[in-house]
Structure 1
């Protein structure tokens, strides 16, 4: 145990809620463990993290989070293998991206040892909350927001970093039908699209609701300028398979540098699958659907890992995708899950034992 882990104080809950939880019927992110990590930034420095019972937090009405939206988060999971050991998947990448988001939102960066050692200490305390049924995991939500007070439009002087945990079942079941967006944009050049800022997701809700009313599950986001290029699938990165080539858009100011996205690219290359990281036009995808060369589309993200797309809509026309017995989506998902649950060799060095 390093110095940071030794300094973290732990206040244990008097009673546990775990006996009240039906682990066979877990919805995503709606049940929370007994404890949470809290760390405050005050007087120009981060205080030592502490673990306390899960509870409401108190903020003044003038806290800047309510007025100027300085808020970021990450999405991670903890997995338990057959031997009962706990594992994380690429946690240092999450910390790195968390600080990239913080910097863009003028929030002080959190030290790596606070993020990683704080999380590991919390997970050791909550290890019994990690479900072991297939497809289940302990979802981890690190987040940070402006707790400092004031109505003046400027960065806050105080912040709160927290980690909460939620045992969760499989995120998605079945395939999804998506609508290619032609009016609204998720983000813009020079904006904060590459940061996991709360406002990015709030801005998605309205266009997504419009798509749901039309009979779709989710929106495929296109570029802000011309709406000619496919960029993301809902809150996930998107992959398109034309013939045998797997294509995904490059990261940019508008596109999140997804950890699952990066993992799929590396796995595909390892398996000899042709991969292209380039811009994808809507026209290219529609034409491929018409001539039969479009084999697959799927979203990639922490919660679902891989979410296959069954059909997409564009210009009042729906295009169905074929059912493939050995799809790239299934292969990628199985390969990642086997690494995450310590069922297969990790040649990439992604798995991290708690």
Structure 2
């Protein structure tokens, strides 16, 4: 019996089944699997294990005859005592022989490591975790920006790439030693590699009380498809909505502040600006006001005169936007107000779709 290495190969390169099997076995790789789980705040679940000094995502080697998804489910049950089924992949990583430090005697041939989406867990799901005695010493949820300090370099790169793929919504990322073969804008600017803004400030959908100083004015600027404008700092990957602090030329009008800042930071023009409410800071008697508006146009990307930075401009759904920040439970009330204003502006709810970069001028 003969076979070929591909269905369309010419008979002149035919091989015996035994030779073909030996050839493929000589190029065999390891197969691994892991699961990315976050809590409601967007923090990543890591395991502290007894056999390594660095933290790990849940997961391990794929057993003989087992699919990567089956392996992920088995590992999660063995390590955390949780039963789950995985249907969505976030990344496939080619871990090269030089991309992982292993003992020479192990003869590490390289590995294809799959990362599955374990979802966003609530308090009840987290409380049900039962770490495997003797193997899993503890679990913790950590900020994405802290992953490089807690994991090995390759593991941290892979986890961050997988998390960006989840947020972006563009489908699974194909990685080499943790880095995307085709980086998205989130990868290029390094979103999540610096600490997210942590503002667990109460949201009040009412006018700012008299005498309370307004420190900040931000705007949820809607494109016609229901997505909103987000600015990404090219220097550190930090995200923000258009807006900033009041200046004398705003004459005490926070709406004017939002419009001016959107123009300066993103060359964005707005229409139909609507007040949403304000955030109160328990440590400082001030208000941080929030607006919604319709985007009418974007000019060329220019440096913000206040910071000297030229922001990357993206469109993301309001739900994607929340994943760039750590705003805590009050974010739900703000999101509700955002969607209410969207309906008043007669803008449809955005369909789930990948983040889009706006590199040049655009008009709607």
State the TM-score bracket (shorter-chain normalisation). under 0.3
Normalised by the size of structure 1, how large is the TM-score?
A: 0.24
Return the index of the structure with the highest Cα Rg: 2
> Which TM-score applies when normalising by structure 2?
0.24
- Larger relative contact order (CA 8 Å, sep ≥ 6): 1
